[in-house]
Amino acid sequence: MKDKKNIMIIGSGRLGSMLAKKLSQGDNDVTIVDYDENALSDIEMEFSGFTHLGDATSLDTLVAAGIEKCDVVLCVTNNDNVNIFTALVAKSVFNVNRVVAKLYEESRTAALNGYDIITVFPSMLSIEAFHSCLGQIGVENED
């Protein structure tokens, strides 16, 4: 059995809220941060963790939401620069063990150089899925 983790999710969009629900069902301590009250109230139904209303690009918000006690921070807002900023802050200011950032644009990773931050690219994942799907239905497509 895996250890129980203290996880912060920054951004309560579709991805953030789905992750929050899944991770809280897995018996982790989950806090989700967003500046949009509506986005946060939407997820409360099936979510057993904490919600924190505030601007995650302000260090005091992250402290108030408990980042200092987190083992894992997932930066999944809809803004690449906000994800990069919060990931860098989690790593460099708060020494969070594992940090993951979602990025729409691969070229922006240069700003993360030198930091142990895991990146996830939704567009690349979609392309891979499409590629195998097209292969299955017999449409030729380059690797």
Can you give the binding site for another protein, defined by CB under 8 A? Answer: 57-60, 79-82, 84-86, 88-89, 92-93, 105, 107-108, 110-113
Return the closest-CA partner of residue 49 out of 30, 33, 66: 30
Pair of tokens at residue 110: 């240069």
Query: Could you count the other beta carbons within 10 Å of the beta carbon of residue 91?
Result: 20
State the minimum distance, in angstroms, from the CB of residue 19 to another protein.
21
State the minimum distance, in angstroms, from the CB of residue 108 to another protein.
6
Our CB check for another protein shows the closer of 57 and 121 to be 57
Q: Is the dihedral of CA 94, 64, 49, 46 positive or negative?
A: negative
Our CB check for another protein shows the closer of 48 and 81 to be 81
State the minimum distance, in angstroms, from the CB of residue 28 to another protein.
26
C-alpha distances (whole Å) from 23 to each of 9, 20, 26, 72, 109 are: 10, 5, 5, 11, 26
Return the closest-CA partner of residue 52 out of 89, 80, 88, 20: 20
State the minimum distance, in angstroms, from the CB of residue 55 to another protein.
8
Our CB check for another protein shows the closer of 50 and 115 to be 115
Our CB check for another protein shows the closer of 15 and 111 to be 111
